[in-house]
Chains A and B, each alone.
Chain A
Amino acid sequence: MTRPHAYDGVAVVCPTTVTYEKTSTRSAHWFLARALAQLIAAAGIAKEEIDGLASASFTLAPDSTIALTEHFGMAPRWIEWLPFGGVSGVMALRRAARAVQMGDANIVACIAGDTANPETFAGLVNNFSSFSSQAIIPYASAGPNGCFSLITQHYMQSFGVTREDFGRIALAQRANAATNPNALLGGKSLTMEDYLAARPVAGPLHLFDCVMPCAGAEGFLVMEVRRARALGLPYATIRGAIERHNAYREDPIAVRSGWAMDRDALYAQSGLDCSAIDCVQTYDDYPVITMMQLEDLGFCAKGEAADFVRRHDLTIQGDFPVNTSGGQLGCGQAGCSGGFLTVVETLRQVTGQPLGGQVRDARIGLASGYGMVTYDRCLGTGAVILEGAR
């Protein structure tokens, strides 16, 4: 495989979050527009200076990024449309970084936003992919919970994992959410008794293993380092980034995903190993997926993530902070914003701009992405290592 070029000279700035709401009567356009307006305000630039726009949304239909240029009154020379859910944030960052590096755009706004009401989630699930329409929905329309309950049951049996092990992740993230005013569940404490006694959803998955769909938006800007410095913005540089789709199709049920295929490339490009990472944001649609990421990204061996979470404190003050915003389990899942949350929170931590608690001396963070279950597993994986340069 060709070694990818370094991301030299590229800065990621202005982590932004549009307040999450359980449901909203506003459109996805509104949430995306708020993210853009907040980015412009945070950077202290004119809207016209943004000449690249990458967006991600599940509820913008029939519109896409190109329609947003008209809604937002912009004439960008570079656009990207990435409605790829949990992997959209890493994908947006990688593409925007190359556009800036190559001079195809000076400043790229990367935004993800979705609205939510009782109809949007069911409508989304019912029309998510041709394979699921054909082969998943006839089987009780359980949505992603059905598929991930099977993956979870298989993982638990294969590696001797218990619900308490998953509960450790859920409890740590809920504790992290408590400091984040944007976390919809931040005000509600969660004990292991609560976790274990929650109502069953599917197989080993119970209420607190599942994210709460909500409305909201996330975003960041990508520009040259010299521009970020001139604007006086705290910024992060990209030490390494990976992406993979449809990895390990030969595995009859998912026990790993694309990160395992590419993590060596990630750390080689970064010139780091995983001991250098100060905080990790995993894509946490379900705790089992967080465990898979800890394994596949090299923090522990396959099958050892449960032991890893028993031995480490995943809270902001802990020895291995994970999902320091509370993650989607604590904040809610605002559609494609859930895929941006890992990148935005990593950027917040390494540049000292958290909404909630700050990981002490965080300089290097890893953001992971995982998205798009079109049949029996998510297809897309990605990860990026950001280094803060305050």
Chain B
Amino acid sequence: MTISIQRCQSCGTFNYPAHAVCGNCLSDALADCAIEGRGVLLALSTVHHSLDPEWRAHLPVQLATVDLDCGVQVICFAEPGLQTPARVCLAPSQDRPGVWIARAQDA
């Protein structure tokens, strides 16, 4: 399973969230790059309150900060049962299109 992160074609830096220009070298030669999404789970939080009424029926959810090996930090969902710190892998969520979920990384 891969995820897509924007990568600079000039210097190789990954940028997340997607930038208009590379945050390292200011090049606009940017392209989406499929990666494995492996990294370290740095922080976890159970969200009980949302500003969006549509979300309220689906709470609580687990939120996480993941420091990906490619050098970017992602705030995403997390599967139950994780603890910090841990190796995790990001995958596209099955139930919610367009978002990622952190899962325990197989050794």
CA distance A201 to B60 in the complex (A): 10
User: Which residues of chain B are within 8 angstroms of A152 by Cβ–Cβ distance?
Assistant: 45
Give the shortest distance, in Å, between B94 (CB) and chain A (any CB). Answer: 15
Known: A138-B99, A139-B99, A375-B17. A149 touches B45 (CB 8 A): yes
User: Which residues of chain B are within 8 angstroms of A201 by Cβ–Cβ distance?
Assistant: 48-49
**Interchain CB contact (< 8 A) of B44 among A136, A137, A150, A252:** A150
Enumerate A135-150 residues with CB–CB distance to B below 8 Å. Answer: 135-143, 145-147, 149-150
Tell me if A376 and B55 are in contact (CB < 8 A).
no
CA distance A253 to B47 in the complex (A): 18
A-B pairs with beta carbons under 8 A, tally:
104
**Interchain CB contact (< 8 A) of B46 among A134, A135, A203:** A203
The yes or no answer to A245 lying at the interface (CB within 8 A) is no
Tell me if B52 and A135 are in contact (CB < 8 A).
no
CA distance A181 to B63 in the complex (A): 38
Tell me if B65 and A134 are in contact (CB < 8 A).
no
CA distance A203 to B60 in the complex (A): 10
Give the shortest distance, in Å, between A199 (CB) and chain B (any CB). Answer: 8
Enumerate A100-157 residues with CB–CB distance to B below 8 Å. Answer: 121-122, 125-126, 130-131, 134-143, 145-147, 149-154, 157
Tell me if A142 and B63 are in contact (CB < 8 A).
yes
The yes or no answer to A76 lying at the interface (CB within 8 A) is no
Tell me if B51 and A143 are in contact (CB < 8 A).
yes
User: Which residues of chain A are within 8 angstroms of B58 by Cβ–Cβ distance?
Assistant: 140
**Interchain CB contact (< 8 A) of A136 among B55, B67, B75:** B75
Classify chain A's interface size: 35 or more
CA distance A106 to B6 in the complex (A): 49
Known: A125-B51, A253-B67, A376-B73. A140 touches B59 (CB 8 A): yes
User: Which residues of chain B are within 8 angstroms of A134 by Cβ–Cβ distance?
Assistant: 17-18
Give the shortest distance, in Å, between A277 (CB) and chain B (any CB). Answer: 32
User: How many B residues face the partner with a CB closer than 8 A?
Assistant: 31
Tell me if A142 and B49 are in contact (CB < 8 A).
yes
CA distance A252 to B73 in the complex (A): 6
CA distance A25 to B63 in the complex (A): 35
Enumerate B46-78 residues with CB–CB distance to A below 8 Å. Answer: 46-52, 55, 58-59, 61, 63-65, 67, 73-77
User: Which residues of chain B are within 8 angstroms of A147 by Cβ–Cβ distance?
Assistant: 75
User: Which residues of chain B are within 8 angstroms of A151 by Cβ–Cβ distance?
Assistant: 43
The yes or no answer to B81 lying at the interface (CB within 8 A) is no
Tell me if B43 and A146 are in contact (CB < 8 A).
no
The yes or no answer to A9 lying at the interface (CB within 8 A) is no
Tell me if B42 and A252 are in contact (CB < 8 A).
yes
User: Which residues of chain B are within 8 angstroms of A298 by Cβ–Cβ distance?
Assistant: none
Give the shortest distance, in Å, between A13 (CB) and chain B (any CB). Answer: 39
CA distance A157 to B67 in the complex (A): 16
Enumerate B61-107 residues with CB–CB distance to A below 8 Å. Answer: 61, 63-65, 67, 73-77, 84, 98-99
The yes or no answer to A200 lying at the interface (CB within 8 A) is yes
Known: A153-B44, A376-B75. A140 touches B63 (CB 8 A): yes
The yes or no answer to A261 lying at the interface (CB within 8 A) is no
**Interchain CB contact (< 8 A) of A150 among B17, B40, B59, B65:** B65
